[in-house]
Amino acid sequence: MTERQGLFTVQTSLYLSPENRARLEHLVRERRSNPPDVVSQILAEHPLSQLSSDTDGANGEPIHMRIYLTPEQRQAFETYLATHKTTFSALVSRIVADHLATLPVPPPAPPPPRPKADLAKRRADLARLKARRDEAGKEAPAWLHAYIAQMEAELRRLEREA
């Protein structure tokens, strides 16, 4: 642990289920913050005395995380860890998982915007490849014929959608 601006910086791993990971990602985007700040705020809002005893804190893929603790929080964590058989990362994971479980399921991420097809460029590329095929005549490789056919089909599809 290092002390920075009155807070202790702690490196740990956060173990979250895929659902809770999605909730955390949504929470970070919603608050327009970064994961260490959001997790540190969650830890500050949830005293260890209110920790449920039925939550396992070591499920899921690890997320390597830096968190910030006040001296009082650090002391509370050290006291809790001294009296309970758990690790710091499991304890932090339990607290964060308990908090995230109270949040609603985030809405699905919107699909990425479809790239605008530059039809003129595709037509020019197709014309260039056809010229190359015609120039080679019977010597043109089979892959070139197949590639041109694919490009033509893709161009037709894009023209229908436009």
The predicted pLDDT at position 9 comes to 87
Read off the pLDDT band of 160 (50, 70, 90).
confident
What is the overall mean pLDDT for the chain? Answer: 84
Mean pLDDT of 132-157: 92
What's the chain's Rg over C-alpha atoms? 27
pLDDT of residue 59: 72
pLDDT at 111: 74
Looking at residue 110, what is its pLDDT? 73
By the 10 Å C-beta count (0-12 exposed, 13-18 middle, 19+ buried), 69 is classed as buried
Q: What is the pLDDT of residue 2?
A: 45
In this model, does residue 73 exceed pLDDT 70?
A: yes
